Every structure is written in structure tokens, then in C-alpha cells.
Structure 1
């Protein structure tokens, strides 16, 4: 892991110091028009978060579904019989800080998050940089299964750094290093601390339609889990963005899809679903 983290950190440092008069530009007053806009139209790429932030006092209502695997065909009506649901809300406290709360039917999971902007892409700085901090509470666990179960054992934490760049009017890229910590885990098959790295991109096809692709490599996963690979389609319709999704991970929580992706694309084992964001 050190062999990966060190070059990555050196890359960020080199990139930052390569910008002419960076400190001078940070001290100057920037207008809103000087920043890159519409790098992503949705708050999620497919399953990953994007660097898009809610505006101050904006509220997003989120409805997401992931159906069961399509490989079982008509036995489960291509996964429709085994749907899981996520309901949540996201509120822009300021233009640079947002809070979120959601509930997932899979593992009866509650998820809270903070999303905060660190830097924005403009003529003097090459990237949007956003931090994303998540805490998950698994309420599915029972003391009958885990006699010594305490509240702290239900907790899982995720920390991500979202780094994106708008390459052109049609094409945007994002890199996402992630750190996951589980308070309850099976040491025979996994680690309490896991690191993943990957990202994805968005390509705009028409004014209201784009195709998205993402991949994350988990360096600490057991062999029977897969690295999450997802493809999606963004459809802009008035006050909301509708996302159609195909992915090899049924979980919609950050910790779930990063560490427990089970589908094998090569065997037709993947999940269909959607994300719906409505802004108020």
C-alpha cells in the first residue's frame, strides 16, 4: 500500500506546485464565472460521489433502487423480486458544506455523511477537490448472533478524497482514493482497515444525456469479492437527474459497494438499478 500512496501523494504535490502564482491566485478575489462549472450534473457518478456540491440551502431528496442479480433470469424476474431501496436527504449548509442522512433496506443500514469542498478548478488551479466523510450504522446485527455485540460494533467509517477535472465541455474525469474502517469484521477473510483507489468519467452525449463509467480497486479485499465496476446513464429532466445503473454491487452504502461487491460481469452476474435526485 505504501508503494501506491507515496507516488500518489508526490503526484498531488507536484501538480499543485506546477501552477504559476498559485498562492497569489488564492489571495485574489475570484468571481463565480472564473470557476469551471457543470463538471458533473449529478451528485453521484454511478455509485461514487462526484465533486458537485448542493448550493446553500438547497435540499435534495434521494430515492435509489438496486434490484437483484439479472443472472437468475425469470426465476427472480431478472432481479426485480429482490429489490433493495435507499431513501435519503442532502442539505447544503453553505456552498462548500453539505450534510446527508439516508436509510438502506440492505442490512437495515443508516448512513450519515459530510461533503466539503476544498478547492475549485479555475484558470490557476487544475482540479476540483472535495472531501467526503461517512459513518454507517448496521442495525441488522443481532445479539443472538454476536453475544458481545455493542453499539460501536455496528459502526463502519469511510473517508474519501474526490479529485476531478473538466477536460472539455463533454468530458470530465474523477479520481477517488478511499479508506474504510470496520469496527466489526471477520479476521479470517478481511481486514478492519481497507484501502481502495479508482475513479471514473462522464461523457456528455446530448444536452440532457451522458454516459458514466467507474471502477474501484480494493487492495485489501478477500478473493471471493470483486472490485466494483459500474456503468450508468444520466438523464436530465427538469428539476431532477435520473440515473440508470448497471453494477456488480447491490449495496448502495459507501462501505458496502467498496468492500462487498459480489457480481461477476464475465458471468452475467450484475445488478440493475437507478438513482433519482429531486432538488428543492
Structure 2
């Protein structure tokens, strides 16, 4: 409104001879002040295992199919992982342009995962420097049995993550993400796991061809108690994005076989330093 009133005032202050030129100048000024949103820093909804700041647009449905084979390092013993695979299948709906809701079912612990992803700020051209997105998950572990836990309640099946994803697209080829991550488990193995876990995550994308990019991500646990010995490791993953029209296909190498966020960040059993490595893919199909 202030811009409009200023425009009207300037219009009547100039003479009739220059009225048309001043009108065009004012329109150019208004147009230049409009916020120009930077294109998405990542092409896929995920970097590799971690989420990116990309969201579906309003009304879009994404079908998600992810697969992780078994340990590659065992060779023919498990036929390079084919004998011990995990699968995830689900869907994501763009409720608005700034909010998406998701649901999936995964092999690991027969886990059902509910997700919410919401945009808090956009990176602007010559404006705000980063995109900020919130992401929350709730896991339901349906593999737990009362025969194993006689006093098991539904609440004991639940685990959660809260993440703040901050990305910047530096060039058309290179993008970077930083992410503080919080994991909470209602039921956990004392001495092996923590009830509450904090991590600092980082992810990057580098475009190597028109429809190809290499992605890398890592999350470090930052609140491990001193002398706490855990069988789990910080997740490190490498991926290759392949854009094929209606969907993005991602090839994945990771030290995490589970694909739900809680397990990726707190139960990564593999180790790039002579331990287990898992190959797989993520496929998103948009409707």
C-alpha cells in the first residue's frame, strides 16, 4: 500500500509531458522489488537418506519406493546383499505449497512412519540467503511383541525425530544443507542406545550433467556421554540422482540399511572403515 500511495503522489507531482515516462519507471521499480524465489536447492525430496528442503506443490501426490540390499561386503555369502533386503513403500501429499504429509511402511521392525514437512522461509534472489524447512517424523514399531515385553503399551512403540533443514543454492551446480536433528525414543536399549539423541547433519549436491548429480550426506552425534560405547555409527551416505521426467531415481550407498529417520540417525550399524556397506535406491513418482 505504501508503494502504491507513493506512486500516486509522484504521478501527480510531475508535469503532463513526462507522465507516461514516469509511469513506466514506477512500474519497473515495483517489479524489481518483488521477491524472486530461488529454484530448489535439491531435485529430490531426499538428499540420500536425509530429507532435502524440496516439497511437493499443492495437490501433488508422490509415490515412494525405496530398497536397501544386504551387506555388500559379504560377497557371495548373501549374493552381494540380495538375500537380506529391506523395502519401504509409501506416499507423500502436498497439502499446500508449504506443507506436505507422508505415510510409509518399512521392513525394518515392520515400521509405520508418519511425516510432516513444512516450509518456514525461502531463499530469494538478492534477498533472504537460505531456505528453511521443518521436518517431523513419528515411527510406530509394530514388530514388538507382548511375549517379549509383557507390559508393552502402544506408547512404547513410538519414536520421533524433529529436524530443521537449512539449505543454500550457491550455484546452478552446487547446493549445501545444514540440519540440527533431535531423536527421541520411548523404548530403547539401555547401555546401547540413548533415549534422546542430538545430531548435526550436513548434505551437499553437485550437478555433473543436465540430469545427473552426486549427493553426499553425514550426521554426527553430538551428545554422546563420555566413555559411552555404542555399536552404532554416524550415518554416511553417497548417492547419484538421475532425473527422468516424471520422477527422480536415486542410487544409494550407505552404512545404514534401515530407511526410517529414527533408525538412520540412531541405529546405523554399518561402518565405511571396513564394516558393512549397503546398496539400494530411492524412487519418487509424482502424480
Report the TM range for the smaller structure's normalisation: 0.7 to 0.9
Give the corresponding residue for 1:133. Answer: 136
Match of 1:160 among 156, 160, 163: 163
Q: CA-to-partner distance for each residue in 1:215-271, whole Å, 9 max, x for gaps?
A: 000134543211000000000011000000000000100000100111111215200
Superposition CA RMSD, Å = 1.7
8 A Cα contact 2:35 2:127, kept in partner? no
Distance 1:117 1:31, change over 3 A: farther
Runs of 4+ in structure 1 displaced over 4 angstroms?
A: 28-33
Number of aligned positions between the proteins: 253
In structure 2, stretches of 5+ residues that fail to align are 1-29
Match of 1:182 among 182, 185, 190: 185
Q: CA-to-partner distance for each residue in 1:160-196, whole Å, 9 max, x for gaps?
A: 0000000101000000110011000122222211101
| In 2, Cα distance between equivalents of 1:56 and 1:29 | 26
Give the corresponding residue for 1:94. Answer: 96
| In 1, Cα distance between equivalents of 2:196 and 2:31 | 41
Give the corresponding residue for 1:116. Answer: 118
8 A Cα contact 2:70 2:84, kept in partner? yes
Task: Tell me the TM-score normalised to structure 1 length.
Answer: 0.87
| In 1, Cα distance between equivalents of 2:218 and 2:179 | 10
| In 2, Cα distance between equivalents of 1:209 and 1:173 | 16
| In 1, Cα distance between equivalents of 2:183 and 2:32 | 35
| In 2, Cα distance between equivalents of 1:120 and 1:51 | 10
8 A Cα contact 1:70 1:268, kept in partner? no
Match of 1:199 among 192, 202, 207: 202
| In 2, Cα distance between equivalents of 1:274 and 1:144 | 35
Distance 1:204 1:145, change over 3 A: same
Task: Tell me the TM-score normalised to structure 2 length.
Answer: 0.85
Match of 1:262 among 264, 269, 273: 269
Counting only pairs closer than 5 Å after superposition, residues 140-151 of structure 1 correspond to structure 2 as 140-151=143-154
Distance 1:68 1:29, change over 3 A: farther
